[in-house]
Amino acid sequence: MNTEQNEPARGEAAGGTGPESRSPNRTDVEQALLGGTTYRSLGEQRLSATEERFEKNRRTTGLWLAPLLAIAFLALPLDLPAAQHTLAGILLGVIVLWVTEAVPIPIGGLIGVGAIVLMGVVPADDALAPLGSATIFTFIGAFILAQAMLKHGVARRFAFFILSLPGIGNSTARLIVAFGLVTALLSAFISNTATVAMLLPTAIGLLTVIAKMLQDRGLVAEDFDPTRLRVGTAIVLMLAFGASVGGLLTPVGSPPNLIGRGLIEDATGRNISFAAWMGAAIPICAAMFVLLAIVLLLLNKPEIRRIEGVEEYVASERERMGSWSRAELNTVIAFVVTVVLWITPGVIALLAGADSAVYETVGDRLDEGVVAVLGASLLFLLPVDWRRRETTLNWSDATRIDWGTILLFGTGIIFGTLLADTGLAKTLGTSAYGFLGLTSTFAITAFAVVLAIVVSETTSNTASAAVVVPIILPIAAAAGIDPMVPGLAATFAASFGFMLPVSTPQNAVAYGSGLVPITKMIRSGISFDVAGAILILIVLPLMIAAIGLGA
């Protein structure tokens, strides 16, 4: 999930030892890698002077450009119904706020919702009704489950379990691939940003072992800079990019997934189940991950192929974690129950058919939003210390989830619903269809993918999905084609922002570590943007047809 709930990742979930603290027992290599001048927490990312000027100018521009464009658009003598004209002007201003981040992205959406009601597009009750959708509660439940996994260290324990498997610790290439695989799997259920921030100290610890070995073997100079090692760049880029790819695996893996899915379901009237989503996503994610591993290892060829000491490091970290605590076991129970209930309707559909009575009954009862909040509720019921009435989570833990992303998603649903209800979506689609001349599924899907990737490189992938998917769906409808393929393609592509530190929060974490030069991020990112677009265009239509999501 691509959210900014980074606080738990810097504390208990990160192992409880701040990497900024200096230890008199650390070597110079360790201090160079772990010191506060290199590794910074997510809330303390540093940009270059040029990047800071760009960010400042971008946000300042949004403050005056958003209202100016909205007012200018509203003043145009367009042949549109009043509600459509007003909604389009407000949405134009909100898009500018989202792209420039003149205000926090969730606040930009709230400003737009307030303007919708004040300008008389629809009454307040109608405008705010989508905030009660089941998908909102899917978000809330999934975020609370992720908070428990981070707080109690379940995710970190899983990471070290994978790294401890035989044969991984003594090969640099296998170590990098395994670390990326851990990141991708965790990001399928936990915030992309929180996953990367949580695992970054572990990545730096592994790099410390490798750097010290290079120094001991005399393969580098005594005064070498360990932050410039190619293997370090490969590990950290695999961490950031693997999170983006893994976030696509499940509907709850990243906010754009739920935003796009909700809009597509409203537009088509067809349900995209948890299992169906994974069926479409797994081949794309698997191919993209293989490509990530190959390209990153080729562009950042590790200085050493075989390593010693990593297995010992991983074993010592697992020993420090000790045996499973009651809180960890409770978290796993809640997580497993939730995931099993999420995929049960899909399994029944495969066994009994999507038209069977049992599937309809189970599907209606096991709504994903209801399952998510029930699974999260278990964390407040399963006791850690019954005598003290202490449960796995308390409400103060729940307040730390990313409510901003939930608000942003809610406002995105509001705009998507109003685009359809006012008829503006149909008007936009008909106009774009005539202007662009897009008549085939492939052409519209290609346009959707390129537009989503370009927007995601300049703003958050959540905002990219909220902006691009509502544009693509009416274009497909105007062309008389099934919007499922281009809509899902735009949703997937919104998460493929690999090129710049500002593209995703996990990219910012990687760049802020000091281990990834901007030139290497751009060079690798361009390759993956192009590769991801090609994979979506080729594989996604095939998978949609194979799993029966098409019309």
DSSP states of 60-120: HHHHHHHHHHHHHHHHS--SS-HHHHHHHHHHHHHHHHHHHTSS-HHHHHHHHHHHHHHTT
pLDDT value at residue 118: 93
> Higher model confidence: residue 334 or residue 220?
334
pLDDT value at residue 25: 42
Report if residue 82 sits inside a domain.
yes
> Higher model confidence: residue 524 or residue 314?
524
> Higher model confidence: residue 345 or residue 35?
345
Question: In Å, how far from its chain's centre is CA 34?
Answer: 26
Task: Label residue 323 exposed, middle or buried (CB < 10 Å: 0-12, 13-18, 19+).
Answer: exposed
> Is the pLDDT reported for residue 137 higher than 60?
yes
Amino acid found at 316: S
> Is the pLDDT reported for residue 548 higher than 90?
no
pLDDT value at residue 322: 84
> Is the pLDDT reported for residue 38 higher than 50?
no
| Confidence band, pLDDT 50/70/90 cuts, at residue 36 | very low
pLDDT value at residue 323: 87
In the chain, how many domains are there? 1
pLDDT value at residue 308: 67
> Is the pLDDT reported for residue 378 higher than 90?
yes
> Higher model confidence: residue 38 or residue 250?
250
Backbone torsions φ then ψ of 423, nearest 5 degrees: 85, 0
**Least reliable range by pLDDT among 64-78, 199-213, 216-230, 421-435:** 216-230
pLDDT value at residue 74: 93
Q: In percent, how much of the chain has pLDDT > 70?
A: 81
> Is the pLDDT reported for residue 333 higher than 90?
yes
Report if residue 100 sits inside a domain.
yes
> Is the pLDDT reported for residue 61 higher than 80?
yes
> Mean pLDDT of all residues in the chain?
78
Most confident of 114-128, 394-408, 417-431: 114-128
pLDDT value at residue 6: 34
pLDDT value at residue 381: 92
Residue 461, C-beta contacts closer than 8 angstroms, at least 6 positions apart? 2, 244, 254, 255, 256, 494, 495, 497, 503, 504
Q: Per the structure block, which two tokens stand in for 267?
A: 């537009």
CA 487 to each of CA 88, 307, 436, 469, 494: distance values in angstroms, whole numbers, following the listed order: 20, 45, 17, 6, 11
Q: In percent, how much of the chain has pLDDT > 90?
A: 15
> Is the pLDDT reported for residue 170 higher than 90?
no
- Asked whether the beta carbons of 266 and 135 are under 8 A apart, the reply is no
Comparing CA positions, the residue from 23, 15, 34 lying closest to residue 321 is 15
| Rounded mean pLDDT, 82-110 | 86
Distance CA 418, CA 130 (A): 10
pLDDT value at residue 11: 32
pLDDT value at residue 182: 86
- Asked whether the beta carbons of 525 and 501 are under 8 A apart, the reply is no
Comparing CA positions, the residue from 297, 295, 258 lying closest to residue 274 is 258
3-class SS at 384?
strand
| Confidence band, pLDDT 50/70/90 cuts, at residue 186 | confident
pLDDT value at residue 310: 67
pLDDT value at residue 353: 66
> Is the pLDDT reported for residue 127 higher than 60?
yes
Per DSSP, 12 falls in state: G
Distance CA 460, CA 1 (A): 12
Residue 166, C-beta contacts closer than 8 angstroms, at least 6 positions apart? none
Question: In Å, how far from its chain's centre is CA 280?
Answer: 17
| Confidence band, pLDDT 50/70/90 cuts, at residue 130 | confident
Distance CA 481, CA 444 (A): 9
Report if residue 431 sits inside a domain.
no
Report if residue 475 sits inside a domain.
no
| Rounded mean pLDDT, 449-472 | 80
pLDDT value at residue 307: 65
| Rounded mean pLDDT, 125-140 | 79
Distance CA 68, CA 61 (A): 11
> Is the pLDDT reported for residue 2 higher than 60?
no
Report if residue 41 sits inside a domain.
no
Strand partners, 390: 385
Report if residue 90 sits inside a domain.
yes
Most confident of 15-24, 92-101, 500-509: 92-101
pLDDT value at residue 128: 86
Buried (b) or exposed (e) across 346-379, using 16+ Cβ within 10 A?
bebbeeeebeeeebeebbeebbbbebbbbbbebb
Domain of 89, in residue numbers: 49-121
Most confident of 227-231, 428-432, 479-483: 479-483
**Least reliable range by pLDDT among 151-155, 305-309, 386-390, 537-541:** 305-309
Comparing CA positions, the residue from 442, 445, 134 lying closest to residue 273 is 134
Report if residue 193 sits inside a domain.
no
- Asked whether the beta carbons of 183 and 176 are under 8 A apart, the reply is no
| Confidence band, pLDDT 50/70/90 cuts, at residue 119 | very high
pLDDT value at residue 458: 65
Most confident of 40-49, 232-241, 454-463: 232-241
CA 402 to each of CA 22, 397, 406, 474: distance values in angstroms, whole numbers, following the listed order: 31, 11, 7, 31
pLDDT value at residue 37: 35
Per DSSP, 153 falls in state: T
| Rounded mean pLDDT, 168-179 | 81
> Is the pLDDT reported for residue 22 higher than 50?
no
pLDDT value at residue 1: 44
> Is the pLDDT reported for residue 286 higher than 90?
yes
Per DSSP, 356 falls in state: S
pLDDT value at residue 224: 62
pLDDT value at residue 70: 93
Report if residue 114 sits inside a domain.
yes
- Number of continuous H segments (helices) and E segments (strands) in the chain: 25, 2
